[in-house]
């Protein structure tokens, strides 16, 4: 198959980029795969180009590039096709409308895959009828505002399938939008490759957490919980990996909280790490205190390094990743005491920590890119066959209608000739 992914910016950093690269690289072992990045702002992808995948872009924002598009008159004109409800709307323009539309109309692929709602809308509105049209949801339906949900409900009816990263979100799509039955809604989790770093050492006295320093991650709750851990086990340390927003407000607030709780030397804000697996493997327990997760990529990354995970049981992902009491612990959202208790449960029991880490490593293999790519491949193949049958049926029905029309026309000619002959005879 020829498979084309449409991505916001393949040259940045983020979970959607990472999982798209993982999937594309795995699919490229058996198929012709390309990633078309709407924007390009730097020479090389931050995450490194996926092997075997053709990477190209539509709008060049490299100021020193001879093809720089930032001065194009349509670049400053607001987008009409890309929906306003998508949080990236201000980055899109009349120029992106035109470039994406031209790309989709000229598409030579069997399957085209969008990777965010705005791009899925482009595919629904501008892609030709030939390729299978798939829209991926990397967040959740519930996280979108009313305006975007309304647009999705209207436009996604023209897609062949929508894939979500959790079954919980797939249920929301099935029940909340009223899409026609012809639109397949399938839950396929994100993939995480086997880490280059070796399995974590269960004896390491480090708890690790990773993710953007935003309020939804509730790192303030984690610091409060770890203060209780340190009171019982001052020999343990917490490392938090991730960057914050451009203002740095969340990072400053966390640093102030660490000092206020007297945790300097026990809690470290490590900044961004790439690759992350080498840092995760230095810990022996991973923790997440989010109040909401679309999936929980870092949970799987930690498990792939052999770490048990303590996570809040938040919507939507953790419960579909962690088996409570086997390869990790699920605790109530917003409960610092429960987080501390679960962490201490692993800290105080070396054998439990080792056993849970081994279970996490084994369970995480179901997220290997090869396994996840096989699920996407099966879906794409089924949709192609289904659409082929539909097209064949339409052609067959059209042939029947055409033949019927020809026969009707033939009968009409014969009847008219007979009437004329009868008229002459009379």
Q: Do 172 and 216 reside in the same domain of the chain?
A: no
Please report whether residue 88 resides in a domain: yes
Residue 244: the pLDDT is 74
Q: At what angle do helices 94-105 and 117-126 cross, to 10 degrees?
A: 50
Domain span at residue 68?
2-187
User: Which pLDDT belongs to residue 274?
Assistant: 80
Which of residues 153, 187, 221 is at a domain's end?
187
C-alpha to C-alpha distance for 98 and 73, rounded to whole angstroms: 12
Which of these, 383, 408, 351, 327, lies nearest to 134 by C-alpha position? 383
Q: What is the pLDDT of residue 424?
A: 33
pLDDT of 426 above 90: no
State residue 325's pLDDT score. 97
* Boundary-marking domain end, from 157, 187, 217: 187
CA-based max dimension of the chain = 117
- Dihedral over Cα of 61, 67, 73, 75: its sign: negative
| Domain annotation covers residue 44 | yes
- Of residues 218 and 245, more confidence is placed in 218
How far lies 289's CA from each of 115, 331, 342, 422, in Å?
A: 26, 9, 12, 92
Q: 218 and 158 in one domain?
A: no
Total count of domains within the chain: 2
* Three-state DSSP state, 215: helix
398-420 per-position pLDDT tens digit: 433 333 333 333 333 333 333 33
Residue 179 shares a structural domain with residue 214 = no
Q: Is residue 405 one of the residues assigned to a domain? A: no
Residue 245 sits in the same domain as residue 301: yes
User: Is 39 a domain residue?
Assistant: yes
Residue with tokens 């939804």: 216
pLDDT at 286: 98
Q: What is the pLDDT of residue 238?
A: 98
Dist. CA 188–CA 193, nearest whole Å: 15
Share of the chain above pLDDT 70, in %: 90
For residue 426, tell me if it sits in a domain. Answer: no
DSSP 264: B
The answer on 269 and 172 residing in a single domain is no
The reply to whether 402 falls in a domain is no
Q: Of the candidates 187, 222, 238, which is a domain's last residue?
A: 187
Upper half-sphere CA count for residue 73 (Cβ side, 13 Å): 0
Better-predicted residue by pLDDT, 426 or 98: 98
Pick from 267, 251, 247: nearest CA to 259? 267
64 within some domain: yes
C-beta separation of 240 from 222 below 8 A: yes
Mean of per-residue pLDDT scores for the chain: 91
Q: Identify whether residues 243 and 288 lie together within a single domain.
A: yes
Range with the poorest average pLDDT among 158-167, 255-264, 381-390: 381-390
Q: Which residues contact 65 (CB under 8 A, 6 or more apart)?
A: none
Quote the percentage of the chain above a pLDDT of 90: 85
Q: Which pLDDT band, with edges at 50, 70 and 90, does 247 fall under?
A: low
Task: Reply yes or no: is the peptide bond before residue 297 cis, omega within 30 of 0.
Answer: no
Whether residue 138 contacts residue 160, with contact meaning beta carbons closer than 8 Å, is answered with no
Say yes or no: 155 and 183 in one domain.
yes
Average pLDDT over residues 382-386: 95
What is the pLDDT confidence band of residue 391, given thresholds at 50, 70 and 90?
Answer: low
Question: Which structure tokens are listed for 184?
Answer: 């397949």
**What pLDDT score was predicted for residue 273?**
87
For residues 261 and 157, state if they share a domain.
no
Residue 392 placed within a domain: no
What's the whole-number mean pLDDT along residues 90-117?
98
Q: Which two tokens stand for residue 12?
A: 């940045």
Span of 355-364, 379-388, 391-400 with lowest mean pLDDT? 391-400
Q: Residue 43: how many CB atoms within 10 A of its CB?
A: 9
* Mean pLDDT to the nearest integer, 263-292: 94
Q: Do 134 and 225 belong together in one domain? A: no
386-390 own/partner pairs: CB under 8 Å, 24+ apart: 387/132, 387/160
| Mean pLDDT score, 155-182 | 96
Residues 179 and 290 in one domain: no
Is the per-residue pLDDT at 215 higher than 50? yes
CATH of the domain at 161: 3.40.50.2000
Are 212 and 336 in a shared domain? yes
Does 155 share its domain with 242?
no
Q: Which residue has the higher pLDDT, 300 or 250?
A: 300
| 364 vs 192: CA distance, rounded Å | 9
């Amino acid at each position: 198959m020829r498979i084309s992914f449409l991505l916001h910016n393949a040259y940045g950093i983020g979970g959607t980029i990472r999982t798209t690269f993982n999937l594309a690289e795995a699919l490229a072992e058996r198929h012709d795969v390309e990633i078309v990045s709407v924007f390009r702002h730097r020479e090389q992808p931050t995450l490194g180009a996926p092997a075997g995948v053709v990477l190209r872009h539509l709008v060049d924002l490299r100021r020193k590039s001879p093809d720089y598009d930032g001065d194009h008159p349509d670049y400053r004109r607001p987008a009409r096709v890309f929906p306003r409800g998508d949080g990236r709307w201000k980055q899109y323009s009349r120029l992106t409308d035109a470039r994406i539309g031209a790309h989709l109309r000229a598409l030579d692929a069997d399957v085209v895959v969008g990777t965010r709602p705005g791009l899925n809308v482009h595919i629904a509105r501008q892609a030709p009828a030939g390729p299978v049209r798939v829209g991926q949801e990397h967040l959740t339906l519930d996280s979108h505002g009313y305006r975007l949900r309304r647009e999705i409900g209207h436009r996604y009816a023209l897609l062949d399938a929508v894939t979500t990263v959790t079954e919980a979100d797939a249920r929301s799509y099935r029940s909340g939008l009223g899409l026609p039955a012809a639109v397949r809604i399938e839950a396929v989790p994100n993939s995480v490759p086997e880490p280059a770093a070796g399995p974590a050492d269960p004896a390491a006295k480090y708890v690790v957490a990773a993710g953007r320093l935003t309020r939804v991650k509730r790192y303030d709750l984690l610091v409060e919980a770890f203060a209780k851990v340190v009171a019982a086990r001052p020999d343990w340390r917490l490392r938090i990996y991730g960057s914050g927003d451009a203002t740095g407000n969340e990072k400053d607030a966390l640093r102030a909280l660490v000092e206020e709780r007297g945790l300097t030397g026990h809690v470290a804000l490590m900044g961004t790490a790439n690759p992350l697996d080498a840092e995760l493997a230095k810990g022996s327990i991973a923790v997440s205190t989010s109040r909401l997760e679309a999936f929980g990529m870092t949970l799987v990354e930690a498990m792939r390094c052999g770490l048990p995970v303590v996570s809040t049981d938040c919507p939507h992902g953790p419960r579909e990743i962690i088996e409570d009491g086997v390869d990790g612990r699920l605790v109530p959202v917003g409960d610092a005491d429960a987080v501390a208790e679960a962490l201490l449960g692993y800290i105080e029991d070396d054998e439990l920590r080792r056993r849970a880490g081994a279970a996490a490593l084994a369970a995480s293999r179901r997220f290997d890119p090869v396994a996840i790519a096989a699920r996407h491949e099966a879906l794409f193949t089924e949709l192609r066959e289904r659409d082929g049958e539909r097209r064949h049926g339409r052609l067959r029905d059209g042939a029947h209608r055409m033949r019927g029309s020809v026969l009707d026309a033939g009968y009409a000619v014969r009847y008219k000739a007979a009437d004329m002959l009868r008229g002459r005879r009379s």
